[in-house]
Structure 1
Amino acid sequence: MRQIPDTARVLTVSNINHYIKALITSDFHLSGVYVSGEISNFKIYHSGHAYFSLKDSGGLLKCVMFSSRAAGLQFVPKDGMKVLVYGDISVYERDGVYQLYAERMLPDGIGSLYMAYEALKQKLELEGLFDPARKRKLPKLPSCVGVVTSESGAVIRDIQNVIGRRFPTMNIKHIHVSVQGENASPEIVRALQYINRTKCCDVVIIGRGGGSIEDLWAFNEEATVRAVVACTVPIISAVGHETDYTLTDFAADLRAPTPSAAAELAVPILQELQDKIGQYRRKISVLPLTNCKIKQIELDRLKSSRYFTRPLERIEDERIALDQAATRLKEQMNRNVLQKQQKIEMLFTHLVALDPKAILKRGYSIVYNSNSAVVTAAQNVKNGEQIEIQTAKGRFTARREDKALDE
């Protein structure tokens, strides 16, 4: 055996299996895949897990479906049966085996329908046809309920019985349509278009009883779904059993688990409405008496008050209040006049202090030069220049004959 180089990278079996699992699980082509094939070696263990293989002419793929998924199978898988399985490809690391972890399994023909269902659902969902924001509220008290279903099935009888029990006088507009087969979808579309055009009812129940995916397929047709969306009258979808979901369920304004439940959602109970009306009538009949009683209490309170029994006291109280207000007004006016007088005297004192004549009375004088300009400095008067001197009690002229002392 050759020596292993020191730089060689040695991997364990677990390393290899873990790495391969990471590669496979990260490949989006192997996630959420549909695989068709023939069942081989199908077996369910006590744990509820189902183990089997899918094979075709070119190969074999091991599969496992855990108990939570296997319990929801709608048929019994058998060896040799052609099926369509949905799930993820991954690796069971302990054995180093890649396999399909199955989430759903359908017989091959039904599987094709299911794939078409999923594709159309995704398309319409992207268009916003299932957006909750576009759904309308049901009327609280419809005058007529439209029912779009077959005349021969139990659905129409169940709806009529429930509505008759809850609201015996309710009008029901039944429009017969086929609920399965090639003619079903076109007939349903025409019925909804008629209701939309005539506005013959205030709410519509569209539905049928339970069945296989093929039986319910008319309610998965694109034309049916678009007719439901286009109808301006609110629609309740009640197709199949509670576990059945059709595309009209998503498009309708409300989905009911059964036709009987749809009837309960469509109309209120008449007796309950009558009871409420009776309660309101009693409240209304009592209301005037209650108001009169309140007014009588207020009147009695006024009649027993001091002002009502002794009106002169109220006049005296008002006179006293008026005298007090007049006194306060007079005092305020006197305060305002005094404040104004004090302000005037202060301003007058400042004005007198700034009067030039008052300054002259204190012994000061103003000297003017020959140009009648005020002399502010001795050097501004020339020697021999005649000047005029203003005193507090008159003027006189003089002439400068000596040199300025501050020259």
Structure 2
Amino acid sequence: MTTSSYLTVKALTKYIKRKFDADPHLRDVYVKGELSNVKIHTSGHIYFTLKDDEARITAAMFRAQANKLKFKPEEGMQVFIRGDVNVYESSGIYQLYVQTMEPDGVGGLFVAFNQLKERLQKEGLFNPQFKQPIPKFPNRVGVLTATTGAAIRDICTTITRRYPLSEIIIYPTIVQGAQAAPNIVKNITIANEQMLCDVLIVGRGGGSIEDLWAFNEESVARAIFESRIPIISAVGHETDTTIADFVADLRAPTPTAAAELAVPNQQELYQHILNRKSYLHQIVSSKLNYEKSRLKKLKNAYPLATPERLYRPFTERIVNLDMRLSKSTQLFLMKKKHDYRHLEGAIKMHSPKNAIKYLEKQLEQSTNLLTRSMFNVLNNKKEAYLSTIRTLEALNPLTIMNRGFSVTYKDNKVIKTVSQLSANDEISIHFHDGETKAKIIETIVNQGGSK
């Protein structure tokens, strides 16, 4: 066999792929199995392995088909898959290309509902602390629902009957089909931008889970949660429950019940007003009777029979205060007179004539003190000067020389010892009255040494 008889890998793979393409049983297959190694790519494609107890096959679900899923594929989930089997040429493996996927045992919508409910609950969107209170007396009620059908009629009829003071603002909304969720989000956003309403009713009449699915969409749930206007959810019948019911500030079992929760009942308000009026009448009557009884008792009281006794203590107190005031005034005047005399004496003492005499005396005393101080300073300086002169005279070498001493120099340096001189050295001898020049003949050192 020649080398030309051998196939390339690419040619063999293409041949196998054509076999797969030609097999009608592989073009539309229905497979049941367990999901494994699930990877949801950022592009939207889903890659996984489908397996059972005996075998496994790789699978891919592209974005166009994956966007139609109502649930999120998860590890270990049993599913029903419809698709086709083909060869992926680059890796030379065959795999399942998924067109549709349904969970085994329960519907895909139910799985998607539970998955979204669990995720939003973990995020806190159902937390009661984020629920806004519904106003008791709303001026305007916004209604987001279809303009046709029983729901809008029931809501408007109920509000008009219960509380005609409230104005109804209708936001025509698509509540079923592919466009329903975006339209609900849009109208909630518009209502919040306008801020005309005190409360919003969002809902529709009953139907299947597919009919109500728009109220299970994540975008609708987040729009309800972020609304600054309190929202009452009214979707379907009493047994129907949607994600919107969990996120809304208040859940009503039906649209009619939502209208009843949104506004008060005018008959009940009127009856409440009558009850309060009757209660106030009883309270006022009771209070008047009580005060009348008190007044009667006061009129018959002993002090009022002799009113002068009531103010007698005050009269006595006024008399005492008057006496104390008079006495205090006299003491005050006496003190002021004493202060006046004291000031008058001080003024006389400090008259200009007396002040001059006082200052002259002060000047004389200061002059005497200054003279004594100067005399003491001069004496001290004189004594110090004389002491210094005596010290200088004692230390003056001329004074010493007067007693027969002299100073010998050699080369202008004082000779202090014999060792500084040698024979034939010329020296200068200074006496107190002059100096003389001499020449050394011989030096004799004490202790018997000679030189």
TM-score for the superposition, normalised by structure 2 = 0.45
More helix by share: 2
Structure number with larger C-alpha Rg: 2
